Amino acid sequence: MSKLTPLTARDPDEHHRAATTLELFFDLISVIAIAAVTVGLHHAIAEGHGIEALPRFVFLFLAIWWAWMNFTWFASAFDSDDTLYRLLVMVIMGGALIFAGGAGHIFQTLDLSFGIVGWVVMRLGMIGLWLRAARVPGYRTTCLRYAAGIAVAQIAWCVTYFAAAPGSAVFYA
């Protein structure tokens, strides 16, 4: 494994590609994050607040699923196993763990502080991957569009968070 090798586009006709160890570890982190969110729903149901907690669960689950799906889609499109790629993927996994670590707090208080921090970390790692992929011949425009789209969406989330009161209906509408 070299310190820095260019990303390459995967062949869409490639058959029977096995997941890498890093991809499997990412899957495990996603499962841990989903389990943390599910525990919050379980506690709410046990306390008789299941209906109130359901939108929170759906919101948190979809956020984790979206981050997992984005990475999985990226990893199936581009190939690299260098140090920078691994570091960026670990940044995304760290963000998922931060997000999951705040799930219980979010369920109890509707304060998305941990969620926003974790989400920002995840998205910054994903932006980094797309910017690296923009160097692959023939994919520059698409990759830059994805990186910009993620950045704009992230800015919109942060502006919404800071403009609205934590726990307001803005987050769950």
Cα–Cα dist 117/63, whole Å? 13
Q: What per-residue confidence (pLDDT) applies to 170?
A: 52
Which residues of the chain, if any, have pLDDT below 70?
1-2, 165-173
Helix (H) or strand (E) holding 79: strand 78-79
Q: How far is CA 128 from CA 4, 28, 88, 98, 113, in A?
A: 14, 22, 7, 19, 23
Secondary structure of residue 78 in the 3-state scheme: strand
Question: φ, ψ for residue 9 (rounded to 5)?
Answer: -75, 135
Cα–Cα dist 108/116, whole Å? 16
Q: What per-residue confidence (pLDDT) applies to 101?
A: 87
The angle formed by the CA atoms of residues 74, 76 and 81, to the nearest 5 degrees, is: 80
Domain boundaries, the chain: 21-171
Q: What per-residue confidence (pLDDT) applies to 125?
A: 96
Q: What per-residue confidence (pLDDT) applies to 11?
A: 79
